[in-house]
Amino acid sequence: MAAALALPATYGPRIARAVARAPRIPVIWLEGQDCAGNTEAFLRASHPTVGDLVLEILSVDYHETLMAAAGAAAERSRIETMDRFPNGYIAVVEGSIPIADGGIYCVVGGRTFREIAIEVCSGALAVIAVGSCAFDGGLPAAIGGTTGAVGIGQLVHGPPIINLPGCPMNVQNLTATIVHYLTFGVWPALDGRGRPLFAYGQLIHDQCERRAHFEHGEFVQTWGDEGHRKGWCLYKMGCKGPATFANCPTVRFNDRTSWPVKVGHGCIGCTMPGFWDQMSPFYRHLPAPPPFPTDVTVDDIGIGLVGIVGGLAAAHAVGSYVRRRRLDRAAAATAASSEPPATAPAEPEPDSDAVGGNGGGR
């Protein structure tokens, strides 16, 4: 846990004491236009375990997927907690909130989810948006969606809102956020979009275990090729790690077992705003390799990041890119393989609007 919080190891005992001493904070976990992927992620919590979370640390008073009560009795649990702990419970929001057409695209117990979400979140100690749908509308808000899906931060103003985007979120970032509050009495520092800096403060590319291959111009060119077997860089297969802020490479998933790039598939940028549109097509590589110095923060980039990558390119980054491309060509020229070096097979050359604008194809 201390590592997830980027705290010195000596904080370990202090955190353990805080967890043991803390009252069980009531939690109302709301599900709107969701797939329950973040609920499933919650079930995978290992530090602390989900069992300890629900029995010893939190009091998860309302959670439709997990709670024993049903129907009106379930609703009573939600209302009792709101009455008993005004401004004293955490509202966790999973899924987007559809606001088009009077909110009829998500109705719970005969009431619109929009109405319930505003009611619950407005009286919360804090709101934690788990996953990308609760962050900015996510998939239901992608191009083609017609339900007026928004994230909770676009609907509720007042209580602190902590956004944990990702599809789904990494549950270690949720547990670390909660334990941070229990330990220090304050929520972790956030960036301009409400994301904890400890989790979203660094580019995936800068933490990536395949980074050395990027530096050496060693790229996977097609699925299953020699580079793929040797764990080379997935940039040319569309990896969005160079444009994505998250701690996946260091925290990994499922008790730190793995993460997609480790297995061999590129990052799809799922922690970034509007990623279903901004980062797709997912197998088209980024228009330019990472131009950012390592101290860039997500606030320096913001929405539409991949579209403006070229504009942000610092001189030294461009220089190093050119040098890498030379290395790449030289390596390819001397290799036994005669595959075209600069681009993935049959993909067009990178250009500035290849990723960001969806190419007008929709």
Partner 1 sequence: MTRVVIDPITRIEGHLRIEVEVEGGRVTEAWSSGTMYRGLERILQGRDPRDAWLIAQRACGVCTTVHALASVRAVERALGIHIPPNARLVRNLIAASQFVHDHVVHFYHLHALDWVDLVAALQADPGRTAALAETVSDAPLGGRSYFADVRGRLQALVDSGQLGLFANAYWGHPAYALPPEANLLAVAHYLAALDWQRSVVRIQALLGGKNPHPQSYCVGGMAMGLDPNSPTALTTRRLSEIRQLAEQAIDFVERIYLPDVLFLAEAYRSWFSVGRGVGNFLVYGDFPEDDSDDPAAFYLPRGRLVGGDLARVAPVDQLDVGETVAHSWYRYHDDDAVLRHPFEGETEPTYSGPQPPYERIETPKYSWLKAPRYRGEPMEVGPLARLLVGYAAGHEDIRREVEAVRDRLRLPHEALVSTFGRVVARAVETKLLARRLLVWLDALAANLASGDLAVADVSAWDPRTWPAEAKGWGLEEAPRGALGHWIVIRDQKIANYQLVVPSTWNGSPRDAAGRRGPWEEALVGTPLADPRQPLEILRTLHAFDPCMACAVHVHDPAGGSGIEVRVA
Site for partner 1, residues 205 to 234, rule: CB under 8 A: 222-224, 228-231
Residue in the structure block whose two tokens are 């997609």: 260
The secondary structure element, H or E, covering residue 215 is helix 211-215
The count of residues interacting with partner 1 (CB under 8 A) is: 101
CB atoms within 10 A of CB 262: 16
Q: Which is nearer to partner 1, 186 or 336 (CB)?
A: 336
Look at the alpha carbons of 196, 165, 278, 216 in this order and tell me if their dihedral is positive or negative: positive
CB of 79 to partner 1, least distance (A): 10
> Residue 310, exposed/middle/buried by CB under 10 A (0-12, 13-18, 19+)?
middle
CB of 263 to partner 1, least distance (A): 4
CB of 12 to partner 1, least distance (A): 21
Q: Which is nearer to partner 1, 7 or 41 (CB)?
A: 41
- Give the relative orientation of helices 71-84 and 113-122 as an angle to the nearest 10 degrees: 30
> Residue 297, exposed/middle/buried by CB under 10 A (0-12, 13-18, 19+)?
middle
Distance CA 131, CA 298 (A): 17
Q: Which is nearer to partner 1, 131 or 291 (CB)?
A: 131
- Binding-site string for partner 1 from residue 164 to residue 183, where x marks contact by CB under 8 A and - marks none: ---xx---------------
CB of 260 to partner 1, least distance (A): 3
Distance CA 194, CA 161 (A): 6
CB of 236 to partner 1, least distance (A): 13
Q: Which is nearer to partner 1, 105 or 181 (CB)?
A: 105
Residue in the structure block whose two tokens are 């992927």: 37
Given 104, 189, 314, 330, the residue binding partner 1 (CB under 8 A): 104
- Binding-site string for partner 1 from residue 49 to residue 78, where x marks contact by CB under 8 A and - marks none: xxx--xx--xxxx-xxxxxxxxx-xxxxx-
Given 88, 264, 310, 357, the residue binding partner 1 (CB under 8 A): 264
CB of 356 to partner 1, least distance (A): 15
Residues 329-348 close enough to bind partner 1 by CB under 8 A: 345-347
Question: By the 8 A CB rule, do 70 and 55 touch?
Answer: no
36 binds partner 1 (CB under 8 A): yes
Q: Which is nearer to partner 1, 19 or 313 (CB)?
A: 19
Residues 281-320 close enough to bind partner 1 by CB under 8 A: 281-284
Q: Which is nearer to partner 1, 33 or 244 (CB)?
A: 33
Distance CA 239, CA 242 (A): 8
Q: Which is nearer to partner 1, 52 or 191 (CB)?
A: 52
Distance CA 240, CA 8 (A): 30
186 binds partner 1 (CB under 8 A): no
Q: Which residues pair with 46 in a beta bridge?
A: 49
- Give the relative orientation of helices 171-184 and 11-21 as an angle to the nearest 10 degrees: 80
101 binds partner 1 (CB under 8 A): yes
CB of 54 to partner 1, least distance (A): 6
Task: Considering only the C-alpha atoms of the chain, give the largest distance between any 2 of them, rounded to a whole number of Å.
Answer: 72
CA angle (323, 329, 334) in 5-degree steps: 130
129 binds partner 1 (CB under 8 A): no
Length of the chain: 362
End-to-end CA gap in the chain: 43
Given 48, 123, 145, 291, the residue binding partner 1 (CB under 8 A): 145
CB of 282 to partner 1, least distance (A): 5
CA angle (305, 34, 171) in 5-degree steps: 70
CB of 318 to partner 1, least distance (A): 29
Q: Which stretch binds partner 1 (CB under 8 A): 10-18, 43-51, 155-163, 297-305?
A: 43-51
